[in-house]
Each structure stands twice: as C-alpha cells, then as structure tokens.
Chains A and B, each alone.
Chain A
Amino acid sequence: MKKRDLVIVGGGPAGMAAALTAHKEGVRDILLLERDQYLGGILNQCIHTGFGISYFKEILTGPEYAGRFVHRIRNTPAIEISLKSFVVHLTKDKVLTYITPGRMEVVQARALIMATGCREKTREMVHIPGTRPAGIFSAGLAQKLINIEGLLPGKAVVIVGSGDIGLIMARRFILEGAQVKAVIEIQKTSRGLKRNIVQCVQDFDIPLYFNHKIACIHGKDRVEKVTVCRVDDAFNEVDDSRFEIACDTVLVSVGLIPENELIEMAGVAIDHRTNSPISDAVNATSVPGIFVCGNSFKVYDLADSVTADSELCGRMAAIYLSRR
C-alpha cells in the first residue's frame, strides 16, 4: 500500500486552498483527489459574478475565482493532482480506496483533509407533497443544465427557497427567456444576500412570497401547477390561504448539507442534525489526523470564506504532520 503524508479529497476551492497552504507550511508530499475531470468543483457552473470580493478585492465569476487557484496549484509540483479519482471507501486509519480510470487504488494517508463540499437538500428531505412528475429540479442541477450543458429545463418556473442559489437561478431563468412565476419562502425573511434579492428578483419584478410554502405539486408526466399556502409561525398551513400557480418547473433550493458520508463510514462522529463532524475545534474531527474544511465542514455563504477556512485547515494539517 502506498503511503502519503497528506491526502486531500476534493478539488474545489476548499481542497485547493488547503493544499496550497499545507505546501506553504512545509508539507512536501501531497495527493489531491478529485472525482471530476477538472479542478474547481461547483464553481465551474457558477458563471455569475460576486466571487473574490474579500479574498482578491476584485469581482470575479466562479470559474475565474477557481482558475486563480488552479493556476497556483499547477505551478506547485509537490502537489500531485489526480483527476477522475472517486473515493469509495475510507477507514479510521486513513486508508482510502479510490477508483480511477482502469483501476482501483488504495492509499494510506498520514493526514487527511476532506474537502468534499455539500449537496442540496431535496424536495424529499423537506417533504413537499404531491406527484412526482418531470420538471422538479434542484437549483444546482438546473444551473448545471443551463450553464454547462446549454439546456433549458423549463419555461415557467416556481422557485422554492430564497437562498442565494435560488435567487441567482431566478435571474438565470429570466435571462434565458423563461418566466419565473414566483419565489416561495417559508421563513419571514430571506437567507440570501441583500444584493441578490435586489439584483436577481426585485429588478425583474418577480413575486417573492415570505411565510409561504408549497402545499402540493401537481402534474402527471410533467409539472402542471403548484398549490401554495401561507404558513403561521410554526410553519403550519393557514386556513383558506391556498392559491395555485401554473408552471412547468419547480426549482427546489432549500439549503445545503455537508457531504460527510465517507468519514461517517470511517467512524468519525457526525452531528445528524447538520451532517457536520462533531469536534471541539474548527476543521478537526473526532479522529486525530482527519480534518474537514470548506462546505463539508459547515456551509458557508461565500467561496471567499471557504478559502479562508481551508487555508486554516491546511495549516492545521501541516502542524499535525510536523508534530508526529
């Protein structure tokens, strides 16, 4: 079995920042595993601007922001990048099994940083009742279909959730010539950034309903309409508040959850409410030498914060390695 000083899983902004900082702090044997064929992670599909304002003091798009780190990492020979490398198994002793074209590899890490990002909560997790036709998308999937594949998921869209991804996708659909019928938010206020509410929703006169939820999705083969209702402070339906909106698409953008299934498999303590590792310090876990950074540690609003967090994590891993 091959042994490596530091293995980092995930080649998004978190994994790249952790790798670069660990290298700066003296770690010289680093393996970065990324399942996709590119580095950059989810930033590759975030073609809107708003990245880098605090870290680079510039306004960049997602791919531009990622591109700066990709460039740095490519110029750091001590960091070995292994793309199309999908980790399928992990043990408490930091033995990783991953699939890469043509073979399965096993590697033992002295220190391990997990930077696996997060996934979107689904319609199922928030129990939106109704039928299950085509036309129900997570916001991230719709974003990928439009921005990466050049496909239009629908023409009349209702968005559930007013977080930043939902808001940004509202504007994206408008720019593609689709209609955004409404943004439905169960809370009293939006979790999203003020600038996104103004630039993505208000500027396009999209109705934004606070204290509302979808009571039912209708449609046999494709979404046909949704029933919306008002909710009280306990999120229960208010009587006689139902109304319907005709649409062919429901976009679900109801929050993110850290992806920590691999470390959970390895026996790392996980808080089942948040899916984050239980630990006494930021980025640490219940298993010494296994660190978690970026959105897989905790969901951040901004990529810049992910970078800052992950630099700290790279430093922690370097200190851990130097003490052994």
Chain B
Amino acid sequence: MYDIVVIGGGAVGTAVARELSRYKLRIALLEKEEELAFGVSKSNSGIIHPGTQNAPHSLKGRLCVQGNQLVRSISRELGVDFKEVGELIVAFTLEDIARLKQIQLDAQALGVGGLQLVDRSWLWENEPNLSHKIIAALYAPTAGIISPYRWTYDLSENARRNGVEIFTRTRVDRITRAGDHFEISAAGQTYACRYLVNCAGLFADEIAAMLGIRDFTIKPRKGEEFLLDKKRQNLTNHLIFPLPSPASKGTLVIITSDGNPMIGPTAEDTDDKSDVSTSEAGLRKVITSVKRLVPAIDERDIIAYFAGARPVAGDDFIIRHEYAAAGCITVAGIQSPGLTASPAIALYVVELLRKHGLVLRRKLFFHRYRKKTVHLFSAGFDRAQRLIRKDPSYGDIVCRCEMVSAKEIREAIQRGARTLDGIKFRTRCQAGRCHGSFCTSRVMKILAEETRAPLTAISKRGPGSALVVGDRAQEPPGGAAQEGGQP
C-alpha cells in the first residue's frame, strides 16, 4: 500500500513527488510514456516567467511568482542551469505604452519585483537587434530560462534517490475506491494508495472522469516553435515579448538554455490531444510576428521545430481536493506558466494533502543535493581537458554539432534514458544542425550495448517508433527481409 500515488511524470508530477519525498511516506509515480518528460513538459518555451501577463488575483499568477523564486534554489540544489536573462514586453505605439503600464500594475499586485519601463535609448543600448519601430518596453529582470527536460529529469532523479518509486510505461486505465483507499490499475498491475495526485497534464480530465469527476475538460491549445542555429546565439540578450493576447503571451523571441534562439509559439485550439504536428501556416505566422520584433531573424537559420499542446481548462489552474473522491488532489489546466509554477504547485499540493489528513513527518535524511551532470559543450577548455584525461570516453565525440561525448550518452542511459529522444533531451545529442544525420547510428549502437537490446528494438520514443525494421546480422543467410509485416 502506497501512501501516495502521483499520476503523470511531467514537470508538475516530478516536482510534487520530489517535494513529498522529504517526508516519511511511501510514494509511487506512474507515467504512461516510455520515459518521463515526454508530455507537455518536453515541448515548451523553457521560460521561467516573472509573473507578468497574469490576472492579478489568479492562482497561476501567484504560483508563477512563487515558482520563479523556488526554481532558483531548487535548480542550485539539483545542478540544473538556470539563467536570469530578463524579458522585455515591447510597445510600438502610445496606446501600447498605456497597456504596458496596466501590465506593470497587475504584475506589481502579484508581487513581481524589479519592473521598469525602459525607453528607446535603453533599448538601443541593451538590445540592438530590436526593431527600431519599438518605442518602449516593460523590462522584467527576473525572467529566466531553464531546460524543461533537464529540470524534470533531475527532479525525478532526486525524488528517486529519496525513495520515490517511479514506473514508466505504466498507463493508468482504471481507478476504483476500495473502502479507505484507491486501487489504481495500470499496465496490468494494481497500485493501492490512500492519496492520489492527478498530474496527468492533457489527460487530467480523463483521470478525473475515472473517479466520476466530470466538471472540467481539458482543451488542447497547440503551440508551434522553431529553433534557430546556435550560431545565432547572440540574436537577443533578453526574452522578447509582444503585448499579450487573450489566448497567449504572444509569439516570442526566446533564448534557450542550450544556446539556440527559438521563435514561437503559436496558439491554436485543437480537438486532438495527440496533435503535435507543425504546419506551413504556423511557420508563416511565427516568422511574420517575430520579424516585427527582431527584423534580423532569418528563416534559413531554422534547424528544428516542434509543437506542444497546452492543457487548457478555463483561464486558471485547477488545483483542489476532490470531496467527491476524498484523498484525491486534482492538478489540472496547467498551461503556461506551468513549468515556472511547478515547484510552487508542489508546495500547494502538499499543503492541500496536509489539510485533508495526510500526516507529514520529515525524514531524518533528505538528500537535497544532486551531483551536477557534466556537459562537455559547456565545460570550457581546462575542465574539458581534465575530464578527457581522467576518462578518455569524454574525448570520444559522438555528436559533432553539439559536441556530445560517448561518456555523456552512456551516463544518460545509466540515469534512465531508454530512447533516442530521451538521450537527446538529456544530452543534446542529435539536436543540432545535422539533426542526427551523422550520429544516429552510433547512438543506436551505444544504447543497444548499454541496455543489451537488439538494434531493431531501439526506438525514437518507445513502442511503435523503432528506428529500423531489419538487421542483416540477425538474419539467416538468404535474407528474410521480404517477409514479415507490411507497414
């Protein structure tokens, strides 16, 4: 019997699990995908928002401001790179400036600090590539950037170290009430627990419905994003925002923690939760919008793109205890700024659990710190030299575009990567300008070796996404490639 089961291994679920792992509790985290962070948390802008552009009394606004603070301390504990780059919301007209002032007031009401209206000369000096049609901006210095995957993976790793049991490829498909506890059926197993935290992202409504709760639905709102070549990493010094619209914060010029600038996202309501396709129309929209902000952006520098779906359930987050299913906490509608808010959501959930009867006793030993993962690309010459001397496999470069060594790839696998995407998210291998053309076969071989799997079992992101369909070395002479399944 678990004290708590957390459903969903995204930024929110792992933050909740890690926060709970401070206490003497038996905790399980269930994730349907092959690896953690394969849901919304893999496809977002990676911005740690300061708290601007939120309604003054909103829950998400409050948790965003608090999350912005918490991310700093937790990323230090976990060895995740957080960079405070600051953001500029820009104005083209006098009416725009009036709106900026309103945004400033709303943000100050939420407790966002350091806001400042800056003029043209400030912008010319500090953000030279910005369009000269921009006359002023609201500067929010506390905005930052983080790698959303590494945030999620490192939280989960630390949670596991503190005793959380993590089960991937474990899709919850039924939940029943059995007296004082829940029984959760997932992937052929039953997990019994007294408390349940539903952090299922886009599918939080489906989990709730299993418990008879049907007063909200999740509507996906798709966002397409386009990554530019690292060569353009000095495009802007800040995150650049237009004025927000009712549906989103607008299409942005983003700095990512890996160095590549990114442009996007779009905001388009869809019916299909699995629709993460990109479109020509989306690209055109993004290019037109961002060129208004930074005319120097060149479409030819695009090296990658993706789409993510924001789990929208009304205007605000829904985080509550379900009286109709006592012991269940719903965490739903965690659209942007959900990544930022994730550690604050975790605290909020723990408080709710306490209020509803969970006894929280701190462990004597909570492993607060995690050893920082080594990335050769950010190590600098002397450190890289030392690393390579100590372990030559740091000098065995597999990914030439992003400079990722065999050692880092093996380490990522030892820490839980099971797929090519999982390796990419952890190490950046295959994420550069050649998009894996040169290194994919080598990565496949390393993964096969480390997991003792045949090459035909190596997949991009889990079952159904195998990279290759046949291996000559495994076939009887004469060739059997013609037989077997048609696509």
Contact = CB atoms under 8 A, between A and B. Distances in A.
B274 A220 contact: yes
B473 interface: yes
A35 B461 contact: no
Nearest to B485: A155
B131 interface: no
Interface string A73-111: 000000000001010110000000101111110000000
Given A86-B400, A129-B278, A151-B455, A221 B463 contact: yes
B187 interface: no
Given A119-B434, A133-B460, A138-B437, A176 B481 contact: yes
B274 A221 contact: no
Interface string A148-167: 11111111100000000000
A134 interface: yes
Contact of B388 (A102, A124, A132, A134): A102
A127 B302 contact: yes
Given A35-B397, A104-B385, A141-B440, A248 B469 contact: yes
A120 interface: yes
B304 A124 contact: yes
A124 to B, nearest CB: 5
Interface in B444-472: 445, 455-456, 459-472
A221 B465 CA distance: 5
Given A152-B468, A216-B277, A221-B463, A99 B397 contact: yes
A264 interface: yes
Given A151-B470, A178-B481, A248-B469, A119 B280 contact: no
A251 to B, nearest CB: 12
Interface string A138-149: 101100110011
A270 B464 CA distance: 42
Interface string B377-406: 000010011001100100111001001000
Interface string A199-224: 00000000000000000100011101
B190 interface: no
A141 B469 CA distance: 15
Contacts of A247: 487
A interface bracket (residues with beta carbon within 8 Å of B): 35 or more
A100 B470 CA distance: 34
A156 B459 contact: no
B482 A99 contact: no
Contact of B441 (A103, A141, A220): A141
A152 B470 contact: yes
B176 to A, nearest CB: 30
Contact of A103 (B278, B282, B385): B385
Contact of B306 (A35, A99, A132): A132
Interface string B468-480: 1111110000010
A267 interface: no
A124 B465 CA distance: 19
A26 interface: no
Interface string A111-140: 000000001101111010111111000101
B435 A102 contact: no
B381 A104 contact: yes
B216 interface: no
B471 A134 contact: no
B298 A272 contact: yes
Given A104-B388, A272-B300, A129 B466 contact: no
Contacts of A151: 441, 455-456, 468, 470-472
A119 B400 CA distance: 11
A238 B444 CA distance: 40
Contacts of A97: 381
Interface in B241-295: 274, 276-280, 282-283
Interface in A229-287: 246-248, 261, 264, 272-273
A133 B274 CA distance: 12
Contacts of A288: none
A122 B437 contact: yes
A264 B487 CA distance: 43
A264 to B, nearest CB: 7
Given A35-B400, A104-B385, A150 B471 contact: yes
A7 B93 CA distance: 56
Contacts of A145: 441, 468
B134 interface: no
A178 B486 CA distance: 10
Interface string B416-445: 000000000000000001111110110001
A175 to B, nearest CB: 10
B85 interface: no
A88 B471 CA distance: 34
Contact of A149 (B231, B433, B441, B481): B441
Given A129-B278, A176-B481, A177-B479, A134 B461 contact: yes
A129 B277 CA distance: 7
A230 B425 CA distance: 36
Nearest to A133: B465
B55 interface: no
Contact of B231 (A123, A178, A264): A264
B303 interface: yes
Given A103-B388, A150-B472, A221-B463, A127 B435 contact: no
18 contacts: A35-B397, A86-B400, A89-B381, A101-B395, A103-B388, A129-B277, A134-B459, A138-B435, A149-B445, A150-B473, A151-B441, A153-B469, A155-B486, A155-B487, A156-B486, A221-B461, A222-B464, A248-B469
Which 8 A-B pairs give the minimum distances between C-beta atoms?
A248-B487, A221-B464, A150-B472, A152-B470, A134-B460, A221-B465, A134-B465, A138-B437
Interface of A: 35, 84, 86, 88-89, 97, 99-104, 119-120, 122-125, 127, 129-134, 138, 140-141, 144-145, 148-156, 176-178, 216, 220-222, 224, 246-248, 261, 264, 272-273
Given A102-B388, A216-B277, 17 more contacts: A35-B397, A99-B395, A101-B396, A103-B385, A104-B381, A122-B434, A124-B302, A132-B306, A141-B440, A151-B441, A153-B467, A154-B468, A154-B487, A155-B481, A221-B460, A221-B462, A248-B487
